[in-house]
């Protein structure tokens, strides 16, 4: 039996996908320019936080959907509603876009009018019963043809922002974007939010599973996933730059040239939980224990600083020997 309109069923699952990349701009944007970039709607304000780091969050935009839900077992469950999407810019340098929705365990047997779907932004209703586990697995595996594709919506927003006239499309260094697909299983309000799994796959893909109490909004779930995606991008990018620099195998100006962008643009960005719902901040504890995100970052930072310090000491001696 489905809930009547005005008494909507509670969601049992929230799903999303985050795209993270370097802003295509040679210079980082200040807060005023960032607000201009992320003003996706004229009727809602862009949110700006300047402490402890500059973080700018766009209002949500909605995409109406009427299609099948992703399903790992091949189930063909039609769903109708709206997917919410938003963008964030951290320190004027790292750009993220996120698309997400919530879905109940059971939906109506007939289609509602669009007005009824629009009053619940970011909420998608299945026709009949939701195959919850199959849908979660389908989202993590990626949508197939004809299914609701969160990645396409998120990438579409990212592409729109990259074309903004504010941006000169000149990046200070080369990097690759990453994708984080996530699902959050709803639990009773008596339970504490928990991280079920985090996996790293090939091609810049990551997946994440959460368990969240009913009272925590899907937007907060998107926030913790964005925070994780941002710091995973930092780790991945700096590690890749170090691997390609042949650190320790070369000396001289080439070392400084290779590591300079890391010091100038990235090292100061490491700030887990800075803009996360306090009710979800503890989820970082799992990642700090294993695989130990912050330990990895400190180790990378130490290697970079030590190498640059050695180069600074060696340079005067090299200059004297060439006279």
pLDDT tens for 54-86 read 999 999 999 999 999 999 999 999 999 999 999
Q: For tokens 């974007």, what's the residue?
A: 177
How many CB atoms neighbour CB 66 within 10 A? 13
Tens-digit pLDDT profile for residues 20-38: 999 999 999 999 999 999 9
Q: For tokens 């989820």, what's the residue?
A: 283
Split at pLDDT 50, 70, 90, the class of 323 is very low
Question: What are the residues whose beta carbons fall under 8 Å from the beta carbon of 54, sequence distance 6 or more?
Answer: 31, 34, 48, 90, 91, 92
Closest CA to 286 of 272, 302, 268: 272
pLDDT of residue 189: 86
SS3 assignment, position 276: coil
How many CB atoms neighbour CB 69 within 10 A? 26
pLDDT of residue 247: 56
Question: What are the residues whose beta carbons fall under 8 Å from the beta carbon of 282, sequence distance 6 or more?
Answer: 192, 193
Asked if the model's pLDDT at residue 2 lies above 70, the reply is: no
pLDDT of residue 14: 98
Q: In 91-130, at which residue ranges do the beta strands (DSSP E only) sit?
A: 94-104, 124-126
Q: For tokens 């964030």, what's the residue?
A: 88
CA distance 109 to 106: 9
If you write DSSP's letter for every residue of 114-156 in order, what string do you get? HHHHHTSTTBEEESSB--HHHHHHHHHH---TTB--HHHHHHH
């Amino acid at each position: 039996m489905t809930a009547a309109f005005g008494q909507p069923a509670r969601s049992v699952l929230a799903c999303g996908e985050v795209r993270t990349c370097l802003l295509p701009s040679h210079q980082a944007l200040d807060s005023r320019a960032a607000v201009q970039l992320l003003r996706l709607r004229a009727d809602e304000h862009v949110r700006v936080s300047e402490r402890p780091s500059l973080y700018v969050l766009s209002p949500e935009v909605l995409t109406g959907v009427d299609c099948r839900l992703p399903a790992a077992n091949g189930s063909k469950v039609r769903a109708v509603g709206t997917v919410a999407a938003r963008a964030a810019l951290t320190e004027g340098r790292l750009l993220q876009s996120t698309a997400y929705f919530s879905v109940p365990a059971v939906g109506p047997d007939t289609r509602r009018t669009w007005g009824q779907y629009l009053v619940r932004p970011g909420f998608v209703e299945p026709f009949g019963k939701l195959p919850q586990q199959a849908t979660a697995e389908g989202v993590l595996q990626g949508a197939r043809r004809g299914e609701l594709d969160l990645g396409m919506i998120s990438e579409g927003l990212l592409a729109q922002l990259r074309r903004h006239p504010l941006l000169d499309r000149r990046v200070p260094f080369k990097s690759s974007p990453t994708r984080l697909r996530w699902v959050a299983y709803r639990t009773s309000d008596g339970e504490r939010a928990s991280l079920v799994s985090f996996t790293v796959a090939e091609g810049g893909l990551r997946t994440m599973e959460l368990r969240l109490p009913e009272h925590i909004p899907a937007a907060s779930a998107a926030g913790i996933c964005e925070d994780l995606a941002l710091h995973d991008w930092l780790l991945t990018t700096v590690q890749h730059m170090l691997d390609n620099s042949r650190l320790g195998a070369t000396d001289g100006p080439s070392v400084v040239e290779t590591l300079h962008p890391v010091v100038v643009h990235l090292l100061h960005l490491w700030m887990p939980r800075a803009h996360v719902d306090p009710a979800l901040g503890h989820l970082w504890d799992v990642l700090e224990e294993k695989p130990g995100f912050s330990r990895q970052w400190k180790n990378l930072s130490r290697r970079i600083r030590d190498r640059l310090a050695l180069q600074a000491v060696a340079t005067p001696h090299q200059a004297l020997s060439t006279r």
